[in-house]
Structure 1
Amino acid sequence: MKLFLKYIWLIGIVFSTTTFFAQENDIGTIQPRFTVRGSVIESDTRDPIPHVNIEVNGGGYTTTDMFGDFRIEAKKGDEITIRHKDFETVYYTIQSNERIIVEVQPNKPANYKSKFSKSRIPIFKSLIDSADTYLKKDAKKSIQFIADALLESNSVKENSEAYEVLGDIYMYWKQYDLAVSNYRISIQNRETNDANLKLANAYKLNKNYQESIQTYKDINKTDLSNWQLVSLYEGLGDVYLLTKSYDLSVSAYKEGLQVAQKHLITPKITDLNSKIAQTYNEKGEINEAKGYFKNSLKLANTENKKRAVEEKLKVADFRNNLNDYSNEIILRKEALDDISDIENDSVFDNESALTPQKQNYKIGNAYALQNDFPNAITYLEKSIAEADKKEDVIVQKDATRKLSDVYRDAGDYKKALSIYQDYVSLVDKAYIKKEQEISQAVPDLVKIL
């Protein structure tokens, strides 16, 4: 093979993706992971370069396939290393889920003046990137980009990628049966580890538990990156937990934990300690659960404030299950303070567990279970007010129903009835809102099937 010099350029994700990640990452407390797509090609012939080593510091490892393409999990600020025996190693700091194109130029004589220019972005890849950008924001636009990409597709590989992203869209909009269908189509065109892992997860969420288990088991573990292998064991543990196969669940989680610890995949070490704790809790082995929750909380505190709060809330749920409402309330109040700090720089959507309205509701509920009605009323009213401000109809509805129950239990039946009537109105409002969300997502998704 000829010797190469390297050039790297990026297909930035236009529209609002970069802004979104900046909002969540600039303060250094929230670092979501995402999939980075990329290609390594020869600049003069456009031929792909296979078997290039791709590594994220402290994270995943993969290689380019026969088409020169790769995908790897990363977060903002990670350094990605692109290494091959025939060209100089490339280092690049990840900023968002941009598509990375590494153009490798033939080595030229010293007096040769090379010119570097950005060639036209392939239309198919640009459309796929745009679909990714709008996936969580506008289902209609995202689906239209996939439809356009399929029209531009020139290979089974591109068909596979398009249907995989379509499956991702269905997954986000919780249409799990349709996600399964599209991941299967993707795999029929071209089988990849990523698509198989996604299919297994989609089966799980669609409650096809045996199909999910079998899909996980059929994946060749020797072909997986370290991150993918941990994800496989974690997913398998999740399915076993859902089917109440607690021993198998713990065994799978511990296999994943061993890989994560060996390769220093810190976020997964925390997650798996937490999941082992939750499994022991459901199994009724409380002391084992306490030990692993202690580990997970300690580990989470070494990551970032968001992850620490998430784990604190899981431990609060654990305390609730033990009827230890006093310690549950303490943990949730601490979490509320942390959430307030994080919200100074970030905004959580209403689906997140990290919203003031959800935590005020749960604190109010815990006080109600202690028959501390004045405090219960205070926190439930805070929840209702916050939910109304955030247009979180679901929490507003639930907190209103709970507030009515508290007034009833406190003996104020007139107030309880009045608030219950508010609850009935909110039920209708929640139903209408859900119908609108479904009508927005589903028809547009069905068009390309």
Structure 2
Amino acid sequence: MVLKGRVLNEDGTPISGANIEGRLGRYTTTDARGYFSIPANMGEEVVIRGLGFETVYYRIKSLDDLEIRVQDQDEARYADLSFAQAMDSARFYFKKDSQKTADLLIAGLSNNPKKLKNTEQAQAYELLGDLYITQQQYDLAADSYEDAIQYKKSLSLSIKKAHALQRNGNYQEALKIFEDLRNQKSLDPKQRIAVFKGLASVYEAINSFQKSIDTYRELLENPLVLENRTLTTNLKTELASVYNKAGRKVEAQQLINESITVSEAASPVLNIAAKSNAAQFYNANQNYEEEINLRRQNIDQINALKEKKTNLKTISSDTITAFEPASSESSEMTNGYLEDADLEEVVIVQDMVAEEPTVQGEQFKIGAALKNLNKDSEALEYFKSSLEEAKANNDLEVQKEASRELYEIYRKRGYSRKALDYNDTYVAAVDALYAEKENELEENARRTKELLARQNRIDNLEKDRRLTENKLALINAENQLTEETNQRQQWVIYSLVALSLLLISLAFFMYRNNRQQKVNNRLLALKSLRSQMNPHFIFNALNSVNSYISLNDERAANKYLADFSKLMRNVLENSELDFIPLQKELELLKLYLKLEHERFKDQFNYEVTIAPEVKELDLEVPPMLLQPIIENAVWHGLRYKKEKGLLSVKVTKLSAQKIEVEIIDDGIGREKSKVLKTEHQKKRTSKGLGNIENRVALLNELHDYHIDMKVEDAGLSPDVGTRVVVVMNGKTKI
């Protein structure tokens, strides 16, 4: 038989001179148009190699003419990838193409070796370890996880390394890691389950059955496990296996039954696996009746699951639970009834049983059990059904075993013709199975070889990186020697720099002290202005008391003195403060207005309007800032008015920290007031408004406080009243 084909680039152009290799040393090349022909048989593998494109491995499924389009070499295609891009692509191909995953890891490590962080190196080696796990190369996986740990220590990496060592048979090394991890308080719940599960498995492997039992028992009390029926079923099954190995058959059987009960509440898929495991237990203990009963139940359940879908799919090994690293061992299960199961459940099922239960497999095992019970006639029917089902599903392993059993039974009964027919079926199945296994071994060997070549490439990259680090260390040593040689010269420079810094520091401190002195002077000036306000106010108030006494109005004088003393006490209390609560300042303002009105009750009336929202403000304002303004309104505006005047004070809220105080009088106005001043008054400098302006300027400068004051005529003409607006940005109380 001859395989004919053509090799093309991705763009469709032919490739000449490509190497085509088959089995038994068969070899040819492509011609100028890319065509080739080579002797080959069904199921064989043909390898297409050449410079500049990725090697292709093709398993012959038919002898129809073949067209192969090749891809550029991965190294060239991945040369421009950043580390992040290479890692993302490697994770994408991880479950699909191990060689491409390794090439992407090489690209990630080699494209930017000087820029890689330790965490990035750890990521690459961790993924490489995961890749080796899928290839069942557990020793290389453990080495890769150790490389990752060198760059970044983490509990998850230690757990993965321990599992790899356990699977590779390094039980003592795995045991040490698991026992150290067991005492780590920083393990999250899922990590703790993985550690305990691994520890129990190692104890079982080294025949420390009681320790394994105790660990499984402690794990089964974990709240996270109790919530997960799938995991509970798996753990009970594994614990039953330990009890069975320890010779404690009763406890093992009890756990087997418990696992079946729990799995019934979980899912049919899990229940099938639990029953298959239980049937195996009964078989090992020669309880064939129970085994047959459970396997018959499994056949019914598997057929019911198969009816849900006509197109059965294979569940691959690319599932991973939160409790244990993934393994490619699960790829052995290919019957397909697991397709409706949860991915985590699939892995648990694959962990519970050696092979996925199938109809043909269960029928064969029922036949074997019946044969052990010397019920050859019934066994014969089950072996026949098993063989037919295996042929329909292309299950060569069951075909081989079933035909061998049928051959033996018919030979034993003297039916030589039928025995020979089944023997031919057995031989054909063995040959097909041998060819399949041989092809599988060849492919696995080839993949292993290529993966090892990539591992050598990664090892070389690591050696190059270390060599680079050594060169850098040598350069650093030379630089250090140069620095030591120049150190004697540099101390002079350092001394000068230190002296310069000292002079700069002295200048800075002098500048800061000078600035602080200016601030202190302004604070002193502010205090002086406050102290000037008090005598000014007291002098005017005592004049009022004097006027009452001169009029012999003792009662009014006493009442006035009582209010005056209250006002004076508050004024003196606040004389040393820069700020007082807004509400307190407004109360003092009302009291002062009351006293002034008592003195000039025939001259004016007054009204104070405070917006309701102002009463809710919790602000602080300068004391005695508004009093001189009101005093000016009374003394220079309203006092000289012929008819009775009105003084209005309005306080409104502008924002959360800003208020406006509007003081309006309908007195004679500023221009007339200047005309009516006496010669004495003209010679004396006014203290009230001048002090206010100075205080406002100092407060704005020292406390970053914002006060705006505007004085204007209240009416349309300059001789009708005065309006003063003060806007204060109050300080929030601390």
TM-score interval (norm. to shorter): 0.5 to 0.7
1:340 equivalent to 2:321? Answer no
Deviation at 1:262, TM superposition (A): 7.4
Letter in 2 for 1:356: V
Aligned partners of 1:150 and 1:173: how far apart in 2? 21
Change (3 A) 1:151 1:425: same
Aligned partners of 1:172 and 1:229: how far apart in 2? 23
Report if aligned partners of 2:400, 2:426 keep a CA contact under 8 Å in 1. Answer: no
Q: Give 1:372's match in structure 2, choosing from 369, 372, 375.
A: 375
1:318 equivalent to 2:281? Answer yes
Residue equivalent to 1:17: none
Letter in 2 for 1:224: L
Deviation at 1:152, TM superposition (A): 5.3
Q: Give 2:441's match in structure 1, choosing from 435, 440, 448.
A: 435
1:303 equivalent to 2:266? Answer yes
Aligned partners of 1:244 and 1:404: how far apart in 2? 40
Aligned partners of 1:390 and 1:173: how far apart in 2? 26
Report if aligned partners of 1:380, 1:399 keep a CA contact under 8 Å in 2. Answer: yes
Deviations 1:181-223 (A, max 9, x none): 2222222222222222122111111111111111211225312
1:194 equivalent to 2:194? Answer no
Aligned partners of 1:134 and 1:260: how far apart in 2? 36
Which is further off, 330-339 or 411-420?
411-420
Aligned partners of 1:279 and 1:260: how far apart in 2? 22
Change (3 A) 1:283 1:160: same
Change (3 A) 1:214 1:413: farther
1:355 equivalent to 2:361? Answer no
Q: Give 2:101's match in structure 1, choosing from 142, 151, 160.
A: 142
Unaligned runs of 5+ in 2: 1-80, 316-330, 334-355, 456-734
Larger radius of gyration: 2
Report if aligned partners of 2:400, 2:425 keep a CA contact under 8 Å in 1. Answer: no
Aligned partners of 2:161 and 2:400: how far apart in 1? 34
Aligned partners of 1:157 and 1:393: how far apart in 2? 47
1:13-412 pair list within 5 angstroms? 124-151=83-110, 154-219=116-181, 220-260=183-223, 264-343=227-306, 344-345=308-309, 347-349=313-315, 351-352=332-333, 353-412=356-415
Aligned partners of 1:356 and 1:283: how far apart in 2? 32
Partner SS state of residue 214, structure 1: helix
Report if aligned partners of 2:396, 2:429 keep a CA contact under 8 Å in 1. Answer: no
1:415-434 pair list within 5 angstroms? 415=419, 417-434=423-440
Deviations 1:60-113 (A, max 9, x none): xxxxxxxxxxxxxxxxxxxxxxxxxxxxxxxxxxxxxxxxxxxxxxxxxxxxxx
Letter in 2 for 1:336: I
Report if aligned partners of 1:170, 1:179 keep a CA contact under 8 Å in 2. Answer: yes
Report if aligned partners of 1:159, 1:186 keep a CA contact under 8 Å in 2. Answer: yes
Letter in 2 for 1:169: L
Aligned partners of 1:432 and 1:238: how far apart in 2? 32
Deviation at 1:249, TM superposition (A): 0.9
Residue equivalent to 1:4: none
Deviation at 1:355, TM superposition (A): 3.1
Aligned length: 328
Report if aligned partners of 1:401, 1:423 keep a CA contact under 8 Å in 2. Answer: no
Which is further off, 319-328 or 436-445?
436-445
Report if aligned partners of 2:209, 2:246 keep a CA contact under 8 Å in 1. Answer: yes
Partner SS state of residue 190, structure 2: helix
Which is further off, 357-366 or 238-247?
357-366
Report if aligned partners of 1:261, 1:269 keep a CA contact under 8 Å in 2. Answer: no
**TM-score scaled to structure 1, two decimals?**
0.65
Deviations 1:140-190 (A, max 9, x none): 333333333334572221222222222222212222222222222222222
Letter in 1 for 2:120: E
Deviations 1:406-431 (A, max 9, x none): 44454545516434433542452243
Report if aligned partners of 2:226, 2:232 keep a CA contact under 8 Å in 1. Answer: no
Aligned partners of 1:433 and 1:381: how far apart in 2? 29
Letter in 2 for 1:324: N
Aligned partners of 2:123 and 2:451: how far apart in 1? 16
RMSD: 2.8
Aligned partners of 2:389 and 2:119: how far apart in 1? 48
Change (3 A) 1:424 1:298: closer
Change (3 A) 1:395 1:273: same
Residue equivalent to 1:77: none
Report if aligned partners of 1:163, 1:183 keep a CA contact under 8 Å in 2. Answer: yes
Change (3 A) 1:282 1:263: closer
Change (3 A) 1:426 1:271: same
Change (3 A) 1:401 1:222: farther
Aligned partners of 2:247 and 2:379: how far apart in 1? 29
Deviation at 1:312, TM superposition (A): 1.5
Partner SS state of residue 371, structure 1: coil
**TM-score scaled to structure 2, two decimals?**
0.41
Report if aligned partners of 1:139, 1:444 keep a CA contact under 8 Å in 2. Answer: no
Aligned partners of 1:202 and 1:255: how far apart in 2? 23
Report if aligned partners of 1:301, 1:308 keep a CA contact under 8 Å in 2. Answer: yes
Change (3 A) 1:260 1:314: farther
Report if aligned partners of 2:122, 2:151 keep a CA contact under 8 Å in 1. Answer: yes
Change (3 A) 1:156 1:371: farther
Change (3 A) 1:408 1:447: same
Aligned partners of 2:217 and 2:364: how far apart in 1? 34
Change (3 A) 1:409 1:143: farther
Aligned partners of 2:429 and 2:401: how far apart in 1? 8
Aligned partners of 1:438 and 1:170: how far apart in 2? 13
Letter in 1 for 2:313: V
Aligned partners of 1:389 and 1:171: how far apart in 2? 33
Change (3 A) 1:284 1:254: same
Q: Give 2:450's match in structure 1, choosing from 434, 444, 449.
A: 444
Aligned partners of 1:165 and 1:383: how far apart in 2? 42
Aligned partners of 2:175 and 2:426: how far apart in 1? 44
Deviations 1:381-426 (A, max 9, x none): 4444444454444444444444444444545455164344335424
Aligned partners of 1:408 and 1:155: how far apart in 2? 71
Partner SS state of residue 266, structure 2: coil
Change (3 A) 1:398 1:201: farther
Letter in 2 for 1:161: Q
Aligned partners of 1:141 and 1:380: how far apart in 2? 44
Identity across the alignment (%): 29
Deviation at 1:283, TM superposition (A): 1.3
Aligned partners of 1:386 and 1:141: how far apart in 2? 38
Report if aligned partners of 1:257, 1:268 keep a CA contact under 8 Å in 2. Answer: no
Deviations 1:349-376 (A, max 9, x none): 5722133343333223222222333443
Report if aligned partners of 1:273, 1:295 keep a CA contact under 8 Å in 2. Answer: yes
Partner SS state of residue 173, structure 2: helix
Letter in 1 for 2:294: L
